[in-house]
Amino acid sequence: MSESETIHLAADISFLHTDYLWRLPGSWIGYPYYGTSEFYEDLARVAERGVMDMLFFGDTGGTSEDYGGTHEAVVKYGAKWPRHDMTPMIPLMSKAAPQIGFALTLSTTYHDPFHCARVFNALDHVTRGRIAWNAVTSAYKNEAANYGFDVMMEHDERYERAQEFLNVACQLWDSVEPDALVLDREKGIYCDPKKVHRIDFRGRYFNVRGPLPALPSPQRRPVIIQAGLSGPGMTLAATYAELQFSTRRTLPSMKAHRAELDAKLTSVGRKPRDIGILWSIRIQVADSDADAQERERRYLESIPPEAGLVEMSAQYGVDFSIATPGMRLADFADKVRAEKGNLGSFEELLKTVDPKQSLQEFGKRFLVDRILVAAGTPKTIVDKLEELHFGTGANGGFILGRGYSAMDNIREFVDFVVPELQRRGLSKKKYAGPTLRENLNA
């Protein structure tokens, strides 16, 4: 993020059509079927009006059967289900909104670095330099089964594979030099062969000869995002990422996270300013703080009691349907640790949730406050964002994540919160350059 102290802004639009959000007032219902692009194109236009840096798509390719051993609950409630492949939306959105960036998720556990390098090269060309790759290691059993694994690859091994995957992908993106294209009609030279290189990679997981048979794209490599919270996740981020996406829930926990990442960066010879963090936050804006609290209350009330437990089962690969009244989150710690799925985020909950809260109570709240929340007037919200941003080194920004409805909530964010951010000089009033990387560094 260079030396810029700007608050960068993004929105996670992975779950807008799942996770009960379709029930919220102001949700996308009313648009044509969400498998078409109109909704996403409008969303991109609105976010670009707020000079937001990026729209982000997470992804998993599975249907969780963790709650009660069947897919009944996730399908009934629409919990992370369905999940369409959002790749085709990117070019359409990028046409509709020519300045904002886009992040797409691709798993290093189930895909191949050559395929990944090729797809992101093409997306970077098509968006004219506005693509980011969220490199995830994937932690869901049903997804593993869809990709042919009877047993999900173990947590730390997934990260070893990811290290090799990113190494290969980066070598492929660098395998054709930026000035390789000659296009000399007279001499009949298309490209300079001396500027196109094999990579001859032979590793534990991949053997790839290279080069990437593609011209270098505007950003050459996509902006690389990494989102794991565990030790190996932080090491992967420190080695390759430019941006991290994080779900810490309190300022002390955010500060500890930033310090851990900075130490890892130093240990691999990079600088703290080399990676910005986008902290996941849910915004509830209203005319008064009391109105915002009332909207929060209504939102919480609208969530079916078992819904949070269904989502927790999908997230941690453990059956929370067996929770009996009075059980606590900590009672499931051994089971979750044994699964080694989303370990980092579970440990964060154990550290930050009131240990006396019953699992039933917490389950209901899981959907609404598993991430940071800022609710109130634009002034109250921006005060909080400012405090969190400068309290963590002013190195990154915020990503609207989980639990907001679109179109309405994102429009409210752009129309009421962004102007207050801009008025205080905290966020950009215009895009700094044509590529996502330039905007993230401005």
Ligand X SMILES: Cc1cc2nc3c(=O)[nH]c(=O)nc-3n(C[C@H](O)[C@H](O)[C@H](O)COP(=O)(O)O)c2cc1C
x/- letters, 38..77, toward ligand X (CB under 6 A): --------------------xxx-----------------
**Helix or strand holding residue 281 (H, E):** strand 276-285
Judged by beta carbon, residue 245 or residue 431, the one nearer ligand X is 245
Q: Are 248 and 258 in contact (CB under 8 A)?
A: no
Among 18, 27, 342, 435, binds ligand X (CB under 6 A): 342
CB of 190 to ligand X, least distance (A): 39
Subset of 149-208 contacting ligand X (CB under 6 A):
none
- The distance of closest approach from Cβ of residue 295 to ligand X in the complex, given in angstroms and rounded to an integer, is 24
Shortest Å distance, C-beta 410 to ligand X: 18
Query: Minimum Å distance from CB 9 to ligand X?
Result: 16
Nearer to ligand X, 153 or 212 (CB): 153
- Least Å from the CB of residue 230 to ligand X: 3
Per CB under 6 A, 345 contacts ligand X? yes
Main-chain dihedrals φ then ψ at residue 420, nearest 5 degrees: -70, -40
Among 47, 74, 93, 136, binds ligand X (CB under 6 A): 136
Q: Tell me which stretch binds ligand X (CB under 6 A): 175-183, 210-218, 342-350, 410-418.
A: 342-350
Backbone Cα Rg of the chain: 22
CB of 422 to ligand X, least distance (A): 26
Query: Per-residue contact track with ligand X, 259 to 288, x per CB under 6 A?
Result: ---------------------x--------
Cβ-based nearer residue to ligand X, 28 or 140: 140
Nearest CA to 44 among 21, 11, 7, 6? 11
Closer to ligand X by CB, 4 or 280: give it: 280
Residues 204-263 that bind ligand X (CB under 6 A): 227-230, 233, 245, 247
The footprint of ligand X on residues 73-112 (CB under 6 A) is 105, 107
Q: Which CB atom, from 132 or from 176, has the smaller least distance to ligand X?
A: 132
Nearer to ligand X, 52 or 227 (CB): 227
Stretch binding ligand X (CB under 6 A), from 68-76, 118-126, 173-181, 339-347: 339-347
- Please tell me the count of residues contacting ligand X according to CB under 6 A: 21
Under the rule (CB under 6 A), what is the footprint of ligand X? 58-60, 105, 107, 136-139, 227-230, 233, 245, 247, 280, 342-345
